[in-house]
Amino acid sequence: MNSLSEIKPARSVAPSELERPMSHAHISLRNIRKTYGDAVAVENLNLDIEEGKFVAIMGPSGCGKSTMLRMLAGLEDVSGGDILREGQWINELSIWERDMPMVWQSLALFPFLTVRKNVEFGLRMKGVGKAERKTRVLDWLQKLGLEGYADRGIDQLSGGQRQRVALARCLVTEPSVLLLDEPLSALDAHLSVQMQGELKRLQRELGITFVYVTHSHSEAFSMADTVVIMNQGRIEQAGSPEDIYLRPATPFVARFLGGSSIFDCKARRLKSGEMVLEGPDGSFKCTGPEMADLDEGQQVSLIVRADQISVTAKAGWAENEVAARVVGEEFIGALVNLRLETAAGTAITVQLQQRDMQALDIEVGTTVTASWHPEDGHIING
């Protein structure tokens, strides 16, 4: 924090960060706000990114994830709050002073330069000597399997090769952070999966921080150490992929990730003293640790994952049951996603094995019983 004065000597009032304890995070966003006129793009955003982690920021379009990345890179000014890197306040550093190279969604490769010159660009801007530039560029071209394309133009490359050039162009400068803005969205599914593996491997080997913005679940969950889910300019949940998958913090997260059924319920204490969850679809038991904290009449969402719900033809077999009509089925390899709807209109998603599905002998329109164990429900406030 003592180097703050070096960064911004002109500022007489110390940034609000000064009074706070030193952060150990590599990058910290504190109370970040971004407004365009009256429109609020990002609000009250707090996030600590640890060094060497692969952080994926995801959310629906317009949730502010790209705005956040652009504020990190200095492409957008923040309207309020502080951005810190290794404890240093970097709010007012220019784009070119931030040293946070970015892989652009459009890739933004220089079309008038060869592959070699594209990769060399950052080093040239930093004033690295010619001989060193040459070896470092060659080194990175080899690492990404581009050595045979050094003297080609950008328009002579395939999509995957361009992707690698964009990566090499950033990584050759040996940054401590790499920003990625939906870099794989232009690739076909097969290539995208291949690049995901490669990105994760690169990040592990280099040990640098990756901040990766995406709208794709599979990209975020397959690569990231930390997944951050944003909605309407706020962070809904940040945690490990497993944490978010097993314990979504808000109904939005559960809905956004899909694959879960959400029951709106109210907590009610029975005469026996037991707490149950009552809603338009019936009364459900739940044994999760969250039950102890509930108050009588509290509004909650009961979340049940698709792989935890069973479907039977007859009722009366399990503790939590609800009758529902089959409205659709999707076959995904050996699995079937069954979409059900209750009389109250709640959508239920069930994942079944293909062979279980055949044993059930059901079709669209059939009414079945969906059931789950009390320990499998997950409760969220609201």
Q: Which is nearer to other proteins, 111 or 316 (CB)?
A: 111
Burial category of 9 from C-beta neighbours within 10 Å (exposed 0-12, middle 13-18, buried 19 and up): exposed
Phi/psi of residue 345, each to 5°? Answer: 95, 5
Question: Which of these, 373, 326, 333, lies nearest to 355 by C-alpha position?
Answer: 333
Burial grade of 6 (CB within 10 A; 0-12, 13-18, 19 or more): exposed
Return the sign of the alpha-carbon dihedral for residues 339, 342, 347, 351. Answer: negative
Alpha carbons 59 and 215: distance in angstroms, whole number:
6
One residue of 28, 67, 173, 214 binding other proteins per CB under 8 A: 173
Nearest residue (CB) to other proteins, 15 versus 122: 122
Output 155 or 295, the one with its CB closest to other proteins. Answer: 155
Whichever of 210 and 284 has its CB closer to other proteins, that residue is 210
Q: By CB under 8 A, what part of segment 135-164 binds other proteins?
A: 155
Which C-beta is closer to other proteins: that of 75 or that of 138?
75
- Piece in contact with other proteins (CB under 8 A), picked from 30-38, 117-125, 198-206, 298-306: 117-125
Region of 54-62, 142-150, 169-177, 191-199 interacting with other proteins (CB under 8 A): 169-177
CB of 99 to other proteins, least distance (A): 7
Nearer to other proteins, 61 or 96 (CB): 96
Residue 170 sits in the site that holds other proteins (CB under 8 A): yes
Name the one residue in this structure whose structure tokens are 């950052």.
Answer: 122
Read out DSSP for 125-151? HTT--HHHHHHHHHHHHHHTT-GGGTT
The whole-angstrom separation of Cα 230 and Cα 44 is 12
Segment 51-110, which members bind other proteins (CB under 8 A)? 73, 75, 94-96, 98-102, 104, 106, 108-110
Residue pair 232/68 in contact (Cβ under 8 Å)? The answer is no
Total site size for other proteins, rule CB under 8 A:
25
Binding residues for other proteins (CB under 8 A): 73, 75, 94-96, 98-102, 104, 106, 108-112, 121-122, 125-126, 155, 169-170, 173
